[in-house]
Structure formats: C-alpha cells, structure tokens
Amino acid sequence: MGDWLTWPMIGKFARVGVWANSGGNLPRHTAVMEGMAFFFGRAPELTDPDRTLPGRPDPVLNNPRPHAVLGTPITGPWREGQKRLLIGIGCFWGAEKMYWETPGVESTSVGYGGGVTPNPTYREVCSGATNHVELVEVVYDPEQISLKELVRMALEAHDPTQGYRQGNDVGTQYRSAFYTDTEEEAEQIRQWVTEYGKQLEQAGFGAITTEVAAGQDYYLAEDEHQQYLHKVPNGYCPHHSTGVACGI
C-alpha cells in the first residue's frame, strides 16, 4: 500500500498523516489543510488504554480568562441552580459558538474528555493517542432552556451516524458524545438518542453511534481554542447536519 507519512505541527494545528506510495509521493489529489487530518487506507480507531499518552498533572490552561463573549467564568464552581452538559459533535469551534448564542446558556468552554490521558494538549488529542473527544461544556439555566433542547440542537447540528468522523474531519476525537454529571441525565439522553436513531434509520441513514455516559473527566483546551470563532470570525466552522428534524 505504501508508507504512512506524518507532518509535524502546522502552527497550532495537529500533525497530518496520509498514505503515500512506495516512493514517498502523495496521490495527485491529496489535499493537506490546516486543522484537518486526512486518513487514506486506514480507518481511525481507539488506542489501547495501556498505550495512550501519559499526559500531565497540571492543566494546559491555567487561570482561564472569563468568556470572551458572555463575560462569565468558564470554570466552576457554578452558582446554585446552574447545570452543565458536555457535548461532542465534531470540531468544537463551531459547536461552541452555536451554544454561546443560545438564550439560557450562561457559559461555554471547549476542552477534551471521554478518554484516558489527563490534561492533554490539542496536538495530543489530534494524534489519536488520548482517546478523548473534542467537547463543548455548556453551562445553562434549566429554568430558561431544557436539557432536551440542548440535546435536540446537538443532534440536529451533526451526523451522529458517522462514527469516528464528521465530514472531512476524521479521527476518534470527532465522535458524537454526550457526557453528563448524573446517571439520571445520561439515561434520559440515551432514550432521546435511541428515538432519534430510529428517525434517522427511517430516513435512510445508518445506525447512530453517539456515546452517552455520566461522570467523565473534562479538561479545558488551550486559550486559543476558547471562543475561537469570536477571535477568528472567519475561522473554520463546519456543520454536518443530516437535515432530519429531531422529533424527541
């Protein structure tokens, strides 16, 4: 098949790997773009936990600044009555913007969770060797917006049948996921996800692959990723909706 070639970091972006022919040349139509990883000839898969990166004891983002748009803290402790949900629907830049613009959402941040490596960096997560998901932490007032509405928005904003990818964004970090603080919330979301999965199958899509779990660790991403599309208004912002309304 050829050799697996890996490029180093491009600015703050992760390394990119592609299959090349035996002479080390790329296929004619191979595109290598910042912030995106393309895998030809080998599907991404989770790393054996014993082989994941060791990480570090300290956060990669110390003393995080207030939210660049909302002006609210992006770390707890949260005020009484606030709730939170961790959401993975692909690239976290566009997903975070969708939620900070939503009435009833009082803070958002981006980070990593659902994997093994403690306090990972963006580069480490994109390497596939941490098993983490790119996540948006949504802190909300349940009297203004419901958990169901947050989940409905997420399900409609991506394709939860694609496994370890969203469109051209390929890797285990792009998988569909909801992580909650309580098992009760997780069980409710599982029911909604199952219901939406049936709707997708009726529309001709494959099986839904969304993960739902309670009590997962969450690690803040580096400062440049927080509220990225406020800092870089024309930045990369993919959405991969199926176009199927979520009737939950």
> So which residues are the catalytic ones?
91
Q: Give Dmax (Cα) for the chain.
A: 62
Tell the burial category of 165 from Cβ atoms under 10 Å away from its Cβ (0-12, 13-18, 19+): buried
From the list 69, 192, 94, 177, the residue with the least C-alpha distance to 133 is 177
Strands (DSSP E) along the chain, which ranges? Answer: 3-7, 16-20, 83-88, 105-113, 133-140, 165-166, 169-170, 177-180, 211-214, 218-220
Distance CA 29, CA 124 (A): 27
